[in-house]
């Protein structure tokens, strides 16, 4: 593979990885802040995860099982203070300052 092709491949992979990370972050934020209202309540959380799993699977296809949503929720809980607001912007979309 020539050098230019390799650089393009690396840039593409990074772009996809960033998009996936930010998507998971936003889904996790939605679960924690809006669905759970900032509190983890096991009885309520199970119902929320099941309903959200159905909605996301219907809209986007595979990959949104309740176990995956739990991983996504945990991802947000662990990294919410590490991912800065200017990167995601106030609307939840990438800002121009994101690299």
pLDDT at 7: 79
In a domain, 86, yes or no: no
Rounded Cα distance between 81 and 70, Å, is 18
In a domain, 92, yes or no: no
pLDDT at 65: 92
pLDDT at 88: 52
Output DSSP code: residue 65. Answer: -
**Contact in structure between 86 and 95 (CB atoms under 8 Å):** yes
pTM for this entry: 0.65
Q: How many domains does the chain have?
A: 1
User: What are the residue ranges in the chain where pLDDT is below 70?
Assistant: 1, 35-44, 84-99
In a domain, 64, yes or no: yes
In a domain, 29, yes or no: yes
pLDDT at 53: 92
Sign of the four-CA dihedral 35, 93, 20, 18: negative
């Amino acid at each position: 593979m020539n050098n230019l092709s390799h650089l393009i491949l690396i840039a593409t992979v990074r772009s996809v990885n960033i998009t996936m990370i930010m998507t998971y972050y936003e889904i996790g934020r939605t679960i924690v802040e809006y669905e759970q209202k900032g509190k983890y309540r096991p009885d309520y959380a199970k119902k929320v995860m099941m309903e959200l799993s159905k909605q996301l699977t219907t809209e986007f296809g595979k990959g949104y099982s309740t176990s995956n949503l739990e991983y996504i929720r945990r991802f947000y809980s662990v990294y919410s203070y590490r991912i800065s607001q200017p990167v995601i912007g106030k609307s939840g979309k990438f800002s121009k300052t994101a690299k």
